[in-house]
């Protein structure tokens, strides 16, 4: 370790080769961690938090965020997983693996005394070319092609918790997207995921409306309302709080009584007003007090209180109700419609179902399952499926999975590298090698011989069979378009793009200056802890 006297004692510094090697090592370690989860035969990881909470997952981004990684370069790797998750919702493991391999291969070039800036330049050239090749090899599909969309969802969910019911879930995912889609744009926010413990995974369902974990506020209210007319109010239905809101001087008990009756009168008016519009259901974002509750129950209005803003907005989209902030505005037109509003108890949980909405612009996927671990992992699988279906609709482009597209891009990149004269050519070749890490790992995780598989795949692609990939249902190398192993183009484009970005960013670093925590345990800057340097050695 190189100490610098420029800095105070508590600053640690790694320079030049040390800094590079240390960062590359950390990035490789991150990629090694997630590697075994890749693909349908990937294994799961069990993560145990300090408070003994357990997560069992196969999802790259979940593993990395839960691990609370400290090393700054490793953290940058975690960031690509997060970006990938945010941008497309799937492909997080692949993105991290490609980045790790790009860095590992860069190390080989560094060993040959190739300057990092040359590698960075070569990687940039390769990434630009790879994007072109990806586009050329993508197939167009329309949002109406629901069979293909289902296949995309199934490929995304293969090997995850949802594996056994992936057909059910693929149908649910595609149907949900169809309902909320406007032309080619789909907002993930319009699809709510609600989880219910108990019953089997197969009982999971798509609700044409919203399900929320709220119960009606009084047993005297109806448990089920048909032909619901729903009012959404975001003001409280309660007496003003005497302590906070009002300063009045009361000199006699009569005055107090008088004051309270006036307040009660106001509540009565509020409730009458809502009833007069014809509403038979009220969802209130704020509180509803005992008196209002009593009045509402008496007229048989199903009421929930303290509904989250998020749910209010979703109910508005699903039922067409307008969220009202001022009672004077409320009219029949502001009410939303649903066939049924109903309270359903499941074990200890109570839900309100708003179902049978005519043309809902927001829907709910209700996941059932025996344990929270199962439900959570299914939720992650569904999020992958949703992300993939949505990004397919957005771009209208798909590619062949099972490593087919990676092999093809690598092959074309090697052709391209032949046209480059400088040493960047070597970097372009290493970029191609890095992409092959995906099919290699798919094979490895399934217990197949990666060298055999890679050789066979390359041979097929060399004779123009560009959609040949590894089908892990049959363990055969075949045209995977035919076997419907399909992935969105966007997942691959984003993974390659952000993997290159982070690899290049890490390669450009030749100086790490990290401050030790000071005596109070505070970080001096950047939150970087020098301990990581020791941990890696």
Query: Which sequence positions are flagged as catalytic?
Result: 59, 92-93, 384
Residues of this chain, 348-407, that bind ligand ADP according to CB under 6 A? 401-402
Cα–Cα nearest to 172, from 28, 433, 339, 383: 383
Q: How far apart are CA 281 and CA 392, in angstroms?
A: 38
87 binds Mg ion (CB under 5 A): no
Look at residue 417 and give the partner it binds from Mg ion, ligand ADP, none, a contact being a CB closer than 5 to 8 Å depending on partner kind. none
Phi then psi dihedrals of residue 474, to 5 deg: -110, -10
Look at residue 473 and give the partner it binds from Mg ion, ligand ADP, none, a contact being a CB closer than 5 to 8 Å depending on partner kind. ligand ADP
How far are the Cα atoms of 71, 108, 291, 319 from residue 233, in angstroms, in the given order?
A: 48, 64, 17, 14
Min dist. Cβ of residue 111 to Mg ion (A): 33
Q: How far apart are CA 78 and CA 370, in angstroms?
A: 31
* 3-class secondary structure, 526: coil
Look at residue 471 and give the partner it binds from ligand ADP, Mg ion, none, a contact being a CB closer than 5 to 8 Å depending on partner kind. ligand ADP
Q: Write the burial class of residue 89 (CB in 10 Å: 0-12 exposed, 13-18 middle, 19+ buried).
A: buried
441 binds ligand ADP (CB under 6 A): no
Count CB atoms within 10 A of the CB of residue 250. Answer: 12
Cα–Cα nearest to 3, from 508, 532, 530: 530
Q: How far apart are CA 461 and CA 407, in angstroms?
A: 8
DSSP 475: T
Q: Which of 85, 90, 424, 436 binds Mg ion (CB under 5 A)?
A: 90
Cα–Cα nearest to 297, from 310, 285, 312, 280: 280
Binding-site string for Mg ion from residue 383 to residue 402, where x marks contact by CB under 5 A and - marks none: -x------------------
First to last CA, the chain: 11
92 binds ligand ADP (CB under 6 A): yes
How far are the Cα atoms of 20, 25, 44, 396, 454 from residue 496, in angstroms, in the given order?
A: 22, 20, 24, 19, 20
Look at residue 402 and give the partner it binds from ligand ADP, Mg ion, none, a contact being a CB closer than 5 to 8 Å depending on partner kind. ligand ADP
Min dist. Cβ of residue 69 to ligand ADP (A): 17
Which residue has the CB atom at the shortest distance from Mg ion?
A: 90
Stretch that binds ligand ADP, among 35-43, 209-217, 250-258, 303-311 (CB under 6 A): 35-43
What is the number of helices (H) and of strands (E) in the chain?
18, 19
Residues of this chain, 147-206, that bind ligand ADP according to CB under 6 A? 155, 158-159
Cα–Cα nearest to 90, from 398, 368, 374, 365: 398
**How many residues sit in the footprint of Mg ion (CB under 5 A)?**
2
440 binds ligand ADP (CB under 6 A): no
Cα–Cα nearest to 471, from 460, 481, 461: 481
473 binds ligand ADP (CB under 6 A): yes
Q: Considering beta carbons, is residue 391 or 500 the nearer one to Mg ion?
A: 391
Count CB atoms within 10 A of the CB of residue 129. Answer: 21
* Helix (H) or strand (E) segment spanning residue 514: strand 511-515
Q: Considering beta carbons, is residue 40 or 336 the nearer one to ligand ADP?
A: 40
Binding-site string for ligand ADP from residue 209 to residue 248, where x marks contact by CB under 6 A and - marks none: ----------------------------------------
DSSP 156-222: HHTTSTTGGGHHHHHHHHHHHHHHH-BTTB--GGGEEEEEEEBS-GGG-EEESSEEES---S-TTS-
Q: Considering beta carbons, is residue 336 or 402 the nearer one to ligand ADP?
A: 402
Q: Are 326 and 155 in contact (CB under 8 A)?
A: no
Stretch that binds Mg ion, among 29-37, 86-94, 261-269, 358-366 (CB under 5 A): 86-94
Stretch that binds ligand ADP, among 39-47, 201-209, 227-235, 350-358 (CB under 6 A): 39-47
Residues of this chain, 44-83, that bind ligand ADP according to CB under 6 A? 60
Look at residue 497 and give the partner it binds from Mg ion, ligand ADP, none, a contact being a CB closer than 5 to 8 Å depending on partner kind. none
Min dist. Cβ of residue 99 to ligand ADP (A): 12
Min dist. Cβ of residue 63 to ligand ADP (A): 10
Q: Which of 91, 236, 336, 356 binds ligand ADP (CB under 6 A)?
A: 91
Cα–Cα nearest to 139, from 157, 127, 151: 151
Q: Considering beta carbons, is residue 376 or 384 the nearer one to Mg ion?
A: 384
Min dist. Cβ of residue 158 to Mg ion (A): 8
Min dist. Cβ of residue 31 to Mg ion (A): 16
Q: List residues near ligand ADP by CB under 6 A.
A: 37-40, 42, 60, 90-94, 155, 158-159, 401-402, 438, 442, 470-473, 485, 487
Q: List residues near Mg ion by CB under 5 A.
A: 90, 384
């Amino acid at each position: 370790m190189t100490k610098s006297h420029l800095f105070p004692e508590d600053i640690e510094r790694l320079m030049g080769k040390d800094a590079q090697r240390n960062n590359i090592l950390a990035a490789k370690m991150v990629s090694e961690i997630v590697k075994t989860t890749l693909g349908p035969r990937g294994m799961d990881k069990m993560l145990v938090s300090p408070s003994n909470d357990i997560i069992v997952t196969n999802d790259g981004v979940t593993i990395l965020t839960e691990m609370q990684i400290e090393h700054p370069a490793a953290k940058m790797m975690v960031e690509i997983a997060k970006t990938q998750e945010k941008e497309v919702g799937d492909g997080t493991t692949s993105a991290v693996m490609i980045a790790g391999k790009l860095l590992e291969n860069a190390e080989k070039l560094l060993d040959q005394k190739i300057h990092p800036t040359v590698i960075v330049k070569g990687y940039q050239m390769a990434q630009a070319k790879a994007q072109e090749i990806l586009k050329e090899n993508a197939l167009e599909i329309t949002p109406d092609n629901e069979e293909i969309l289902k296949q995309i969802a199934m490929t995304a969910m293969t090997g995850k918790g949802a594996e056994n019911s992936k057909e059910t879930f693929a149908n649910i995912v595609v149907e949900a997207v169809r309902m909320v889609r406007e032309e080619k744009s789909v907002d993930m926010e319009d699809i709510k995921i609600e989880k219910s413990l108990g019953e089997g995974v197969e009982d999971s369902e798509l609700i044409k409306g919203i399900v929320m974990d709220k119960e009606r506020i009084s047993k005297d209210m109806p448990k089920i309302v048909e032909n619901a007319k729903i009012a959404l109010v975001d003001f409280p239905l309660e007496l003003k709080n005497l302590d906070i809101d009002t300063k009045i001087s009361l000199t006699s008990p009569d005055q107090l009584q008088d004051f309270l009756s006036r307040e009660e009168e106001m509540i009565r008016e509020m409730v009458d007003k809502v009833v007069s519009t014809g509403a038979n259901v009220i969802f209130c974002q704020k509180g509803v007090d005992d008196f209002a509750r009593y009045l509402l129950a008496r007229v048989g209005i199903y009421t929930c209180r303290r509904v989250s803003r998020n749910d209010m907005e979703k109910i508005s989209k699903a039922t067409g109700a307008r969220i009202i902030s001022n009672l004077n505005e409320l009219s029949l037109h502001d009410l939303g419609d649903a066939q049924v509003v109903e309270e359903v108890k499941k074990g200890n949980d109570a839900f309100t179902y708003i179902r049978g909405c005519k043309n809902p612009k927001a829907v709910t996927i209700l996941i059932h399952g025996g344990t929270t671990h199962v439900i959570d992992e299914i939720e992650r699988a569904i999020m992958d499926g949703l992300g993939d279906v949505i990004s397919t609709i957005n771009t209208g482009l798909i590619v062949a999975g099972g490593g087919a597209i990676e092999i093809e891009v690598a092959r074309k990149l090697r052709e391209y590298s032949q046209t480059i004269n400088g040493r960047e050519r070597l970097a372009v070749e290493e970029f191609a090698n890095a992409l092959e890490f995906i099919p290699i790992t798919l094979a490895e995780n399934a217990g197949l011989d990666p060298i055999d598989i890679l050789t066979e795949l390359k041979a097929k692609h060399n004779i123009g069979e560009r959609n040949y990939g590894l089908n892990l249902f049959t363990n055969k190398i075949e045209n995977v378009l035919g076997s419907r192993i399909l992935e969105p183009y966007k997942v691959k484009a984003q993974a390659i793009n952000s993997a290159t970005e982070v690899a290049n960013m890490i390669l450009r670093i030749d100086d790490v200056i990290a401050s030790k925590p000071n005596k109070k345990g505070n970080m001096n800057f950047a939150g970087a802890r020098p301990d990581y340097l020791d941990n890696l050695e």
